[in-house]
Structure 1
Amino acid sequence: MRNSCVYMTCSVVALLSGGAGAAESPSSVFTLGQINVSAQTGGQPIGGASLSAEEILTFNKPTLDQALDLVPGVVSSTTGGQRNERLVYVRGFDRFQIPLSLDGVRVYLPADNRLDFGRFLTPDLSEIQVSKGYASVLDGPGAMGGAINLVTRKPTREFEGELRAGLSFDNDAAFGGYTTYGSVGTRQERFYLQASGTKTETTHTGLPDDFKAVPSENGGNRNQSHTADWRVNLKAGFTPNDTDEYSVNVLKQSGSKGAPLNVNDTTANQRYWSWPYWDLQSVYWLSNTKLGSASYAKTKLYYNTFQNGLYSFDDPGLTRQTLARSFRSYYDDKAYGGSLELGTDLIPMNTLKGALHVRRDDHREWQRLYPGNFVEPKQQALEDTWSVALENSVHVTDALDVVLGVSHDWRRLHKAQDWNGTATGSMLDYKRADSDATNGQGAVIHRFSKTGEAHASVSARSRFPSLFERFSTRFNGTASNPDLKPERAINYEVGASERFGSTRIEGALFLSRLRDVIANAPIVINGQATTQSRNMASGLYRGFEVGVSTSLTPMLDVGGNYTLTIRSLSDPAVPNMKAVGTPNHKVFLHADWRPTDSLTVVPSVEAASGRYSQSTSGTVFLGNGGYLLANLQASYALTANAELSAGVRNLFDSNYSLADGFPEPGRTAFVTARYTF
């Protein structure tokens, strides 16, 4: 137990500070599912980070947004409001500008790509890869500010498995939910098989004791805060030799959630929404084949489906649907495509790679409208996205690499429909417009010692606007714009890391310039004032990250990281525009104390300064105060295979919000049991 804890804690700070540190054993990571990395950066994206399964477990982070909050430069937040979505920002870039992939397969919602990071569970992951600023063009389009990739596990032994169960309790020691996880797998000489499943349910979250009751929320158990999620993952692989691998994977996840009310809004401004299902399924093929002595080919094929239900009600009890503001909205989407990547080391001191990506998105939606109980005809949007990329790495010396990459992305819209009106309405076919973008990037990596490395990079990337941004009328409040152009950013970074004895120090400076940022512009159509999405805003993001880890004694390791992020956005239509969702300052500190071979105690502190959010109407920017959270967890190894853990998050019951009107949970306790075989 002691050895694994020493290793895990040392890797936590190395990885969380974004440099090249140790990770979970490569044999247990599904390498076919990793995104492109530089072999000279410790198996991580250039300037990026990797978070291992043991690190996620140690700090008890069962959902993706919670886990990513450990990484410097990454901040979790929330939309608040009736959507109740958990968000993630990477150095200020939001979910539309940071692609999310699962085993390298893009998770993209064809209508609006409004990903809810709280719906993605972490127990079945081997690692989370985070590219910050610089994401390889080989991995496909859209990585304007970075990328996030969830890597599943594969078995390492002839027969193995894991069982995990946990309970959570609110500030009054009342039952608040549970998490379960189980996996079983086998690895043979020429094949492997694995099955896993995880389920998390939250009956409610508890508000801090000092929360003051308001008409929409009386304190105690947060109304409509329930969530339920599960995921099943099946994997089969064929390894005919030491270099080639072929894998078929099936993943299905399902979620549901409530939508807590804004505690600062009047009753007239409240909206009563619920999400009865938020489901995702993916079937995908991944392969890696060695060609000759110095080349390879990787292939990827996938078929994804996404079903989503959103219900709006008349009343806070969610029992009546009679008013015009009530509805039932349904999405039924699918996406299918693939990629081919080729690489070779045949040219001396050179690695050349190329990739081709293609994806078709098929979105279908309809609504049940009230009063009248009218069901719209299904509306369809059909779109293809292509990307071709080339990347070349010149190995100038054994210690110096220069990487250059270029890609061209293009998109073809075949159909975009909407239903205009209610029972007497008609089908509307929007004007079709295509789009394309060229991207370029470069990096220099210098290994100046056996344990030290420095890098500098620049990456000019783009992202296409979603169907929602181009065509949604936002409940008849805005006009469509089929000619909306891609957003663009140029990201600069310099960073370095070095180890001095048992101490490791890492840091990075970053700056991003954004242009053609999509914003709402006031316009007049046929004498009526409205708004329209246009490429009219610009931005400047800059800051730095630093991480330190050290062993104070054989029984005590400490570490932490700090991030400064300063964001400014300029929009001619909004004179006092604020960048929402991210604090200027973010700190994470932790210790790992091992008083005995069986007992490990891990205290940690999470702190952040204030951030801005928007009012329900979207017309006012509101400030939210910062927070300082103390957490504590202890683990006891009963045997070499069995472990019990208990802990408390938000130990001092701090009352804080990430979005105005939506307080976060107060003190929460948990207990977990884990058994491996």
Structure 2
Amino acid sequence: MIRSVNFPGRGALLSSVAIVAMTVGADAQDRGQDRDGVYQLGEIYVSGAARGGSGSGGAGGGGVGGSTVTREQMWTFEKQTLDQAVNLVPGVNGTLSSAGQRNETDIFVRGFGRWQVPLMIDGVRLYLPADNRLDFSRFLTGDISEIQIQKGYASVLDGPGGMGGAINLVSLKPVKPFESEIRAGTMFDNRGAFQGWNSYARIGSRQENFYVQGSVNQLDQNFWSLSRGYSPYPAQGPYPGSLEDGGRRNGSDTQDWRVNLKAGYTPNATDEYSINYTKQSGAKGAPLNVYNNPPSSQNSFWLWPAWNVENLAFLSNTQIGDASYLRTKLFYNKFYNALSAYDDITYRSQSNPGRFNSQYNDNARGGSIEAGTELIPMNTLKAAFHYRQDFHTEQNDNRPTSPVFNTTEPWQHQNQTTWSAALEDTFHVTPDVDLVGGVSYDKYRIDKAEEYDDIRGLYEYPKGGADALNWQTAAIWRYSEAKQVYFSVSDRARFPTIFELYSQRFGNAIPNPNLGPERATNYELGWKGQILSNLKGTAAIFYSDVRDLIQAVRVSPTQSQTQNINQGNFYGFEASLEAQLSAQFMIGGNYTFIERNVSDVSIPGFRPVGVPTQKAFVYATWRPIEPLAITPNLEVASDRWSDVLVGTQGPNAPIRAAFPDLYIRTGAYTLANINVNYQVTENVELAGGVRNLLDQNYELVWGLPQPGRTFYAKVRAIF
């Protein structure tokens, strides 16, 4: 287990600094229900560490290949959304998705994206049945106690799909008879204009045999502004120039809020039964590619009036005797998404071909059961079974403002059932050495696959399905009280989405119901520990052999089909350090190097996009006087490959001539940031700072520059 401690004189700012005290045993051995306000029922299993253990983001992490972003780190470094917060740890980067018109963020864990790395909330997977295109910037961090990130090795006990790892958002739980927290903040651009505000409020109570809690988190941003270094793309001959003139970024408004309610019953020191309800709602614009005027088909005038998620879950833990336990999860999820495509930048008319109002109205239900025992000395055996049903419903209102060509499709339904059975055994060779082995069998089937077109009307595709056998093993040696070395191998599969199976991509693709799963074998050799009394660190080298990657293959001059054709390998290393140099000064940081090679037979010169070859995060904290803490930090990234999404004909032909390749490297960047925190009283603190202090003009995806210098001010009160 990894316990959080405060260094003398450091206060709340350094509560995220952890020292490593590794122990391994059955889940029944470690049940501190009130640890640091972390909702332990919602933590995912970490092989090689007792459930309930966690670690600090940059220089820690429990078990095999894991890192944790703490609540204090998210506050100190002003990370309001999930995609921003994960950039604090090595091996992980949040970025824009390659399809820029969707204005979505993706997260890559050692080169694996949102389709290969499941997202969970309190251990319950959030999966969008149609295409699982999660937008990670919609997930606010105000009510999160920690973000667990498993890299490469994600335990088979936590369900199917962990081909490249797993991300879990763990909520808060009250630990005092009465507690509350209030936060508020504002944002300003590089010209001093008010951009938006955010707020968070929580109230809770922990009594002897029960607890209750409620919270609300909101982020409302009217716009963000480009760097002063941005210049509009110039006109070339008949080309009219960029639609983005600089300053306030067109289409950059977002509104998000989330409500989180929790009630639990704790009849004794080990058992716990909890009901959780979460509802979040979002709306957003979509900034246009600055090189396209008018936008190509990949960058149309799109708006999302709704991006909503709702979760209801029951979680329990029951101890059976002194050496066994039983855990259950039951859940019901709802997802509603509305997308509108317009004719032009006025966002009023929807009469042209390809303009629509689209609705997704999805839900999922299911559950899991997990049991573990240490009835046999020196051995921990665990088993889990997961079952879920996903229901996708969609409808398009095509060309809604056209008096002649307006048509409304009937609702179409696609349903899917997935289940997984898993077994994991840990053999405690000695008190300091563990051998872990896991195996699972996953299976899915398509129960309904409806589609609609003007010629055939409502019809159904052939139903698909597949199964997969997964295995993993690890060895952990704790060669001193606070140091360990480990080696792991994990062979996992990922099933295709309904979109990959059946989408016709506006008539340009042929469905493939027989599409098989992707697969990766991940190898990792790692070390973590306390080097000196004031210095700790981690280091890991990793290699992934990826097979049967899913890719759209050109099968005719006008159509493609999604097939399992790609092979490749991802490899690299990462390291992190944290040092408490004195009572007033602390430094830390991490570094990642990664290469991704993918062989592809359908796209000449194919490049895997979205991941920089090198990435680093460095920070220092100086406390000149007890209440004041100054924390500058640097976010550094080398360039990365990006798609060049532009047509070859018409007004965009000059742009294709200027960017002839299908892929381009976006520029490297170094973002300087600073946060100043002042503890006014024991319960109240003020903070303010600057992001992108040097106002650097940079891109994560071709044609989509990122925010320039941004100022913020905030306050929080904890009682």
Q: TM-score per shorter chain, which class?
A: over 0.9
CA distance, structure 2, for counterparts of residue 498 and residue 255 of structure 1: 41
Question: Is 2:533 the partner of 1:501?
Answer: yes
1:464 and 2:464 aligned = no
Please report how far the alpha carbon of residue 83 of structure 1 lies from its aligned counterpart in structure 2 after TM superposition: 0.3
Question: For the structure 1 residues 268 and 280, does the alpha-carbon distance in structure 2 shift closer, same or farther, using more than 3 Å as the test?
Answer: closer
1:588-616 per-residue CA deviation (whole Å, 9 max, x = no partner) reads 00001111110000000000000011122
The match for 2:414 is 381
3-state SS in 2 of match to 1:469: helix
**Quick check: 1:2–1:597 contact (8 Å CA) kept in 2?**
no
For 2:478, the equivalent position in structure 1 comes to 447
Deviations along 1:511-543, one digit per CA (max 9) or x if unpaired, are 00100000111113xxx6411000000110000
For residues 531 and 13 of structure 1, do their structure 2 counterparts lie closer, same or farther at Cα, with a shift above 3 Å needed?
farther
Identity %: 46
Matched-pair contact (CA < 8 Å) for 1:51–1:127: yes
Closer, same or farther: CA 507–623 of 1 in aligned 2, 3 Å: same
Q: How many residues align?
A: 665
Q: 1:155 aligns with which of 174, 179, 204?
A: 174
Deviations 1:341-385 (A, max 9, x none): 010010110000000000000100010011433211000011100
The equivalent position to 2:250 in structure 1, one of 212, 223, 226, is: 223
| Aligned partner of 2:43 among 15, 34, 40 | 34
- Give a deviation string over 1:613-635, Cα, whole Å, max 9, x none: 11225981121011001000101
Structure 1: 5+ residue runs without aligned partners? 16-22
CA distance in 1, matches of 2:475, 2:195: 49
CA distance in 2, matches of 1:657, 1:150: 28
Cα shift at 1:193: 0.1
**d(CA) in 1 for partners of 2:486, 2:320:** 31
Map 1:44-63 onto structure 2 (within 5 A). 44-63=62-81
Decide which of 314, 318, 322 is 2:351's aligned counterpart: 322
Q: Does residue 1:417 correspond to 2:450, yes or no?
A: yes
Alignment of 1:562 onto 2:591: yes
**Residues 5 and 381 (structure 1 numbering): CA distance in 2 closer, same or farther, change over 3 Å?**
farther
Contact residue 591 and residue 602 of structure 1 kept, 8 A: yes
The equivalent residue for 1:542 is 571
TM superposition score normalised by structure 2: 0.90
Map residues 212-611 of structure 1 onto 2, 5 A cutoff.
212-214=231-233, 215-269=242-296, 270-370=299-399, 371=402, 372-421=405-454, 425-499=456-530, 500-524=532-556, 529-611=558-640
Q: 1:18 matched to which residue of 2?
A: none
Q: Distance between the aligned counterparts of 2:430 and 2:65, measured in 1?
A: 20
Q: What is residue 19 of structure 1 aligned with on the other side?
A: none
Shift of 1:82: 1.4
Which amino acid in structure 2 is aligned with residue 147 of structure 1? A
Equivalent residue letter for 2:507? N
**Inter-CA distance 583–318: structure 2 relative to 1 (3 Å threshold):** same
> Which whole-Å CA distance do the structure 2 matches of 1:396 and 1:379 have between them?
55
Deviating 4+ runs (over 6 angstroms): none
| Residue type at the aligned position of 2:491 | A
Contact 2:48 2:434 in 1 (8 A): no
Displacement of 1:550: 1.1
How far 1:26 moved relative to its partner?
2.1
Question: Which of 129, 151, 154 is the aligned partner of 2:148?
Answer: 129
- Conserved? CA contact 2:9–2:626, under 8 Å: no
The Cα shift of 1:446 comes to 0.6
Q: 1:11 deviation in Å?
A: 4.3
Q: SS of the counterpart of 2:555?
A: strand
Give SS of 2:45's match: coil
CA distance in 1, matches of 2:198, 2:143: 12
For the Cα contact (< 8 Å) 2:69–2:147, is it kept in 1?
yes
C-alpha displacement of 1:38: 3.7
1:20 aligns with none
Alpha carbons of structure 1 residues 162 and 530: separation in structure 2 relative to 1, 3 Å? same
Deviation for aligned residue 1:81: 2.1
Per-residue CA deviation, residues 382-419 of structure 1 (Å, 9 max, x unaligned), is 11000000000000100000000000000121110111
Is 500-509 or 224-233 further displaced after alignment? 500-509
In the alignment, is the contact (CA less than 8 A) between 1:181 and 1:196 conserved in 2?
yes
Residues in 2 aligned to 1:6 and 1:375: alpha-carbon distance in whole angstroms: 60
| Mapped partners of 1:13, 1:217: distance in 2 | 46
**Partner SS, residue 448 of structure 1:** strand
Aligned residues of 2:47 and 2:436 also touching (Cα < 8 A)? no
Asked if 1 retains the 8 angstrom alpha-carbon contact of 2:620 and 2:631, the reply is yes
Aligned-partner residue type, residue 267 of structure 2? P
In structure 2, C-alpha distance between the alignment counterparts of 1:650 and 1:154, rounded to whole Å = 34
Listed one character per residue, the Cα deviations across residues 625-665 of structure 1 (whole Å, up to 9, x for unaligned) are 11001000101111000000000000000000000000000
Q: In the alignment, is the contact (CA less than 8 A) between 1:470 and 1:484 conserved in 2?
A: yes
Q: Tell me how far 1:25 sits from its aligned partner.
A: 7.7
Kept in 1, the 8 Å contact 2:16–2:72? The answer is no
Structure 2 residues without counterparts, runs of 5 or longer: 1-5, 21-31, 55-61, 234-241, 648-660
Task: Please give the alpha-carbon distance, in whole angstroms, between the structure 2 residues aligned to 1:14 and 1:428.
Answer: 59
User: Does the Cα contact within 8 Å between 1:24 and 1:126 map onto a contact in 2?
Assistant: no
The answer on 1:666 being equivalent to 2:693 is no
Letter in 2 for 1:197: V
| Distance in 2 (alpha carbons) for counterparts of 1:4 and 1:385 | 51
The answer to whether the 8 A contact 1:14-1:549 is kept is no
1:237 and 1:247 map into 2 onto residues whose CA distance is 4
Distance (whole Å) between structure 1 residues aligned to residue 309 and residue 689 of structure 2: 32
- For 2:133, the aligned partner's letter is R
Check whether the contact 2:183–2:199 (CA below 8 A) recurs between aligned residues: yes
Matched residue type, 2:201: G
Residues 627 and 24 of structure 1: is their aligned pair in 2 closer, same or farther, counting only changes over 3 Å? farther
The Cα shift of 1:551 comes to 1.9
Q: Structure 1 residue 8: deviation in Å?
A: 5.1
Q: Within 1, Cα distance between the matches of 2:563 and 2:79?
A: 38
SS in structure 2 of the partner of residue 198 of structure 1: strand
Question: Corresponding residue for 1:177?
Answer: 196
Q: Distance in 2 between matches of 1:124 and 1:357?
A: 27
* Larger CA deviation: 69-78 vs 36-45: 36-45
Q: Could you tell me how far apart the structure 2 residues matched to 1:118 and 1:571 are?
A: 30
The letter of the residue matching 2:274 is: S
- What CA distance in whole angstroms lies between the structure 2 residues aligned with 1:59 and 1:647? 9
CA offset at residue 548 of structure 1? Answer: 1.2
Quote the Cα distance in structure 1 between the aligned partners of 2:610 and 2:48.
34
Distance 1:305 1:100 in 2: 15
Q: 2:689 aligns with which of 647, 657, 666?
A: 647
Q: Which residue identity is paired with 2:213?
A: Q
Structure 1 residues 12 and 523, CA, compared in 2 at 3 Å: closer, same or farther?
Answer: farther
Structure 1 CA distance for aligned equivalents of residues 646 and 133 of structure 2: 19
Q: CA RMSD in A?
A: 1.7
With over 3 angstroms needed to count, the CA separation of the structure-2 counterparts of 1:59 and 1:287, relative to structure 1, is same
Distance in 1, matches of 2:699 and 2:206, equals 46
- Structure 1 residues 144 and 14, CA, compared in 2 at 3 Å: closer, same or farther? farther
One-letter amino acid matched to 2:552: N
Normalised by the size of structure 1, how large is the TM-score? 0.96
Q: Give the AA of the match of 2:246.
A: G
Using a 3 Å threshold, how does the CA distance of structure 1 residues 209 and 397 change in structure 2: closer, same or farther?
Answer: same
Paired residues of 2:157 and 2:424 also in contact (CA < 8 A): yes
1:64 aligns with 2:82: yes
